[in-house]
Amino acid sequence: MFQLSRPDCVTSPKWMVFVDENEKGYVGIGGQEFHAGYTTLYAPFSIHKSSHGYILKFCPETTCSNIDGSSLGNHVSLLNLVVNSNAEPSFQFALQKPDPNYAKIRTVV
């Protein structure tokens, strides 16, 4: 398994997919400098309505791939690329109008 390194600042607007040695794709932030040694893919991410909220998709060409969650244990989870799956991802979220004091995204379970 790959070594997980987190950027010091997670406010980067750069979202991308990095591919590990087993050719599995994961969502990363912060640009290629935080994922040295991995193949990185840049393409649009899009938000789609689902039956229980919203889901993320990664759309490098005309076909989009679902983004789903996977747990590494110890309260560490990753968002990974799911290729060739028609199943609805378990990672879903809700959007809400921003509060003047703060804004947040909630995970829907």
| Domain at 34, CATH number | 2.80.10.50
Q: Please check the confidence at residue 35 and state whether its pLDDT lies above 60.
A: yes
> Among residues 74, 72, 65, 79, which one has the least CA distance to residue 107?
79
Is position 1 within any domain? Answer: no
Q: Please check the confidence at residue 53 and state whether its pLDDT lies above 60.
A: yes
User: What's the chain look like in SS3?
Assistant: CCCCCCCCCCCCCCEEEEECCCCCEEEEECCHHHCCCCEEECCCEEEEECCCCEEEEECCCCCCEEEEEEEEECCEEEEEEECCCCCCCCCEEECCCCCCCCCCCEEEC
User: Model pTM?
Assistant: 0.66
Is position 57 within any domain? Answer: yes
Across 22-26, 28-32, 37-41, 99-103, least confident range = 99-103
Is position 29 within any domain? Answer: yes
Please give the DSSP secondary-structure letter assigned to residue 62: S
Is position 58 within any domain? Answer: yes
Would you mind telling me the total number of residues written for the chain in this entry?
109
45-49 and 39-41 beta bridge pairing: unpaired
How many domains is the chain built from?
1
For residue 81, the enclosing domain spans 15-108
Is position 10 within any domain? Answer: no
